[in-house]
Amino acid sequence: MSLRDKQIERLEQMLSPQKKGELAWKVLIMDAKARAVVSSVLRVNDLLKLGVTLHASLSSPRSPMPDVSAVYLVEPTIDNVMVLVDDLQNDKYDAFYINFTSSLPRDLLEEFAKKVSLCGKASKIKSVWDQYIDFIVTEPNLFSLDMKGMFYKFSSSKTTEEEIATWTDRIASGLVAIVNTMGSIPIIRAPQGGAAEFVASQLNVKLRDHLQTNTGATSDGARPVLILLDRNLDLSSMFAHSWIYQVMVNDVFSLKRNTIKLTVKGENGQPKEKSYDVDPKDFFWNSYAQLPFPDVVEHADTELNLYKKDAADLTNKTGITSLDDIDNNAASTSAIQQAVDALPELTARKATLDMHMDILASLISELQAKSLDKFFEIESNCQDPKSLNEFYELLQSQPTSGSNTNDKYRTFLIMVLLVDLPEDYKTKVSGWFADHGVDLAAYNYITKFKQISNMTNLSDMGSGSLSGSGTQAAQSSALSSLSSKLYGLTEGRISEGLTSIASKVKSFIPEKRELPVTKVVQALMDPQTAPQDTLQVTDNYVYFDPKTRGSKQPKRSTYNESMVFMIGGANYYEYQNLQEWAEKSKKTVVYGGTDVIPPDEFLLECGELGKSS
């Protein structure tokens, strides 16, 4: 089971507290954090199937429903406890099933018990549980603690020791929830001397305490390794352009908690926002989100044709000409009944395909308008001296008045990080950005970051191109062909011949290379296959085993499962790179971070660091 499967399973158990076989209708009461957790993995229809007829906010006015049971899911805070007691005092519901998103501290538990006792309504409380689901899952094995701005906060000289201690404790508590949900106490590894080591030490203590108070809560099978990393390991992947469908959607549009927001032209030519909800059961997204964009286009064409064939086969059996003509109330023949039974599934497939057709069409439009293929090409070959001239020539072209300035800026920062650029070139390019109104604070920070990093073996793992080999000329012509010829994909339909174009183009996209985070994970999970230089770095990582005393450095070990956590922000690019390696290596990797950050937001954090320093 994936992390998302396990979180859904825990939520379903929480929402079915009554005996099996009873159809118990209930109201679900959540605070803002719980709503973010639930909405990422369950939809309204899912809640209805679990007997939830109404879901409401804890902080909003709620009418009494004295004959209905209430399931609460809230953070363990004194304010939330006071609202719970007030609801109990006023007999707002018939029965109270209380669930906290994380562990309820001892002092707050005692205060809660005292107030419940004083109000004399303890009999209405049927259960109180720590659920350990204080994290947001957006993909099968991708999670976030929803902690914004942590790269800035851990990197800024203005941050106090007290603030660091508070955030470290909060991160460690969130990771306890992940460990509890996964069901196995891990070995903990982390690089020395940074935030990752602080969190590792704190997490080790919390897991020891958790084991003492929750005997039997975890399994005794093969243990995973939990790898804590600092964002400083690799900054270039945070700025990178990618051809992976999911990464492109997150980069070009807004992808927050499985909601994609597109900006399209309305009927009057004015920009209009359109939102799409990516259901966890979305077959197209689950199957193809990790593939390069041309492959996704090809599969979209195949899936659309398959849908048309299935719909035609079904209508031919019934003698009708369209699925729209099916009458649910018609006399039940076997053919008609078969069509009626198949209609919901076919309708859902069509809706999903229409959604992704629209997203793909919008991506094509943005790709063409912003020349995104050019940035991908330069980043893939930034070690080639020719790329310097190509990039400066690209700066001179401004296809749509500043629409891709951030894309250019990100590519420049990648070049600064990965290549020792001539000083006169950096002066010339940074001057261009300054002349075009770009704040150079992020550039100043990245420049200083590179100077003080001392280019250790660890940072060397991030050097070189972000992708594999491939001739620039071949890529340039092929990708330009893609951006122009695929523009025919409009209004939810794929144009004729698109599949053949995509299949030709994908042969020119360079093979993916393992990112620094993937190299670290390989060294710690499968040291027999890892390069020696990477092993020399990871051998020095701190080691904690919450099940034993002491932290003796072990021999290199092999693991089948890992949890990888990035302090300072995760991204979809690394997630997909890790999943590709895991599938190839027959491993399981769960990946997450303090937050999942799109490139432009990380650019802002770097800018704030540049200003503050």
Query: Does 113 map to a domain?
Result: yes
Q: Are residues 104 and 206 in the same domain?
A: no
Domain annotation covers residue 413:
no
Residues 213 and 270 in one domain: no
Query: Residues 166, 129: one domain?
Result: no
pLDDT band at 38 (very low <50, low <70, confident <90, very high): very high
Burial of 156 (0-12, 13-18, 19+ CB in 10 A): middle
Q: For residue 12, what is the domain's CATH number?
A: 3.40.50.2060
Q: Is the pLDDT of residue 398 over 80?
A: no
- Specify whether 116 is located in the same domain as 46: yes
Same domain for 86 and 26: yes
Is 116 in the same domain as 177? no
pLDDT exceeds cutoff 60 at 501: no
Does the predicted TM-score (pTM) go above 0.85? yes
Tell me the one-letter amino acid at 194. Answer: G
Q: Residue 423: inside a domain, yes or no?
A: no
Cα-Cα-Cα-Cα torsion 64, 66, 67, 69, nearest 10 degrees, comes to 80
**CA gap 248, 251 in Å, rounded:** 5
Q: Does some domain include residue 503?
A: no
Q: How confident is the model at residue 369 (pLDDT cuts 50, 70, 90)?
A: confident
Q: Is the pLDDT of residue 431 over 80?
A: yes
pLDDT of residue 17: 65
Mean pLDDT, residues 454-473? 42
Q: How far apart are CA 275 and CA 362, in angstroms?
A: 12
CA-based R_g, the chain, Å: 27
Please check the confidence at residue 147 and state whether its pLDDT lies above 70: yes
Number of domains making up the chain? 3
Is residue 578 assigned to a domain? yes
- Using a 10 angstrom Cβ sphere, with 0-12 exposed, 13-18 middle and 19 or more buried, the burial of residue 16 is middle
Among candidate residues 113, 133, 153, the one where a domain is terminated: 133
Q: Where does residue 381 rank: exposed (0-12), middle (13-18), buried (19+ CB within 10 A)?
A: buried
Average confidence (pLDDT) over 205-229: 82
Is 104 found in the same domain as 15? yes
Q: Is 267 found in the same domain as 218? A: no
Q: Give backbone dihedrals phi and psi of 567, rounded to 5 degrees, phi first.
A: -85, 115
Q: What percent of the chain has pLDDT over 90?
A: 61
Instruction: Show which of 133, 151, 168 is a domain's final residue.
Output: 133
The reported pLDDT for the residue numbered 77 is 95
Residue 401 belongs to a domain = no
Mean pLDDT of the chain: 85
Residue with tokens 């106090």: 160
Q: Which domain holds residue 287?
A: 259-323+335-362
Shared domain check, 145 and 67 = no
171: CATH = 3.40.50.1910
If you average pLDDT over residues 80-97, what whole number do you get? 95
Do 128 and 8 lie in one domain? The reply is: yes
8 Å CB contact between 524 and 399: no
Percent of the chain residues past pLDDT 70, beyond the cut: 83
Same domain, 102 and 184: no
Q: What is the DSSP letter of 414?
A: H
Domain identity same for 54 and 160: no
| Positive/negative CA dihedral, 546, 547, 548, 551 | negative
Domain's final residue, options 133, 161, 186: 133
Q: Is 566 domain-assigned?
A: yes
Asked if residue 601 is part of any domain, the answer here is yes
